[in-house]
Amino acid sequence: MSNNIYIPQNGLIPDKAITNHSNIVWSLTGDTRYSPTNGSFDDLIEEIKVLDCDILISSEDIEYLFSLPEIINHFETTLIANNYKIIYFCYFRNEISHSLSLFNTLKQFDTKINFLNYAFYILKNGLFKTNNWTFYFNIKILQSLFKKNSYFKINIMNFSEHKHNILNSFIGSINPNLLHLQWVFPNEVINARNKKNDNIVKYFFALLIYLKFIIFK
């Protein structure tokens, strides 16, 4: 608050290991994980419309909105109507670690998901889509969709370059005056989902994904 930055309470997931505003996105996309008790996008607007400060909302699931024109339009125009402009920050992950980590996460929701089909889908489309979830591996597709569907610009940063001090990196991006705090995000939390997978086939296809989007741009 001393830096005029407010973190809303509506939309926060009550999980100490994953503190973010994903419930806001879930309320907009009809995600089954949405919980009314944790606050919707409408609840967020009610909370912040009387404030006179910068608002910080954080959720990796905001990327789902980029491929949903009507929903991102509603998201942005509602904030504009309440005298806010949006500055997006996106940390884009390395394709090989992202593909393996995401697959392990998706297995929690779909135990029948097949890695070969998953990898071929990414290689063919540059993204992976299931339900209303879209995950991007080709940064050009992300930028193109964003340019087409958003009124604002997006700041894209390389996650690999900042992962050992991700919080300081983010704070420095939004307000250089906050860097003196020297907050360090614990490595064990950052790597919590990056579990090693010894399946050679999976690493092979993950490597193909890496080659496609890094070397053969």
What is the pLDDT, as a whole number, of residue 177? 66
Bigger pLDDT: 44 vs 1: 44
The partner residues of 133 in beta bridges, in order of sequence, read 130
Give the model's pLDDT for residue 194.
44
pLDDT at res. 108: 87
Is it the case that residue 15 has pLDDT exceeding 80? no
Query: 149 or 179: whose pLDDT is higher?
Result: 149
Q: Mean pLDDT over all residues of the chain?
A: 84
- Residue 88's pLDDT band (boundaries 50, 70, 90)? very high
Summarize pLDDT for 173-187 with one digit per residue, the tens: 877 666 555 545 444
pTM of the model: 0.81
Q: Say if CB 10 and CB 40 are below 8 A apart.
A: yes
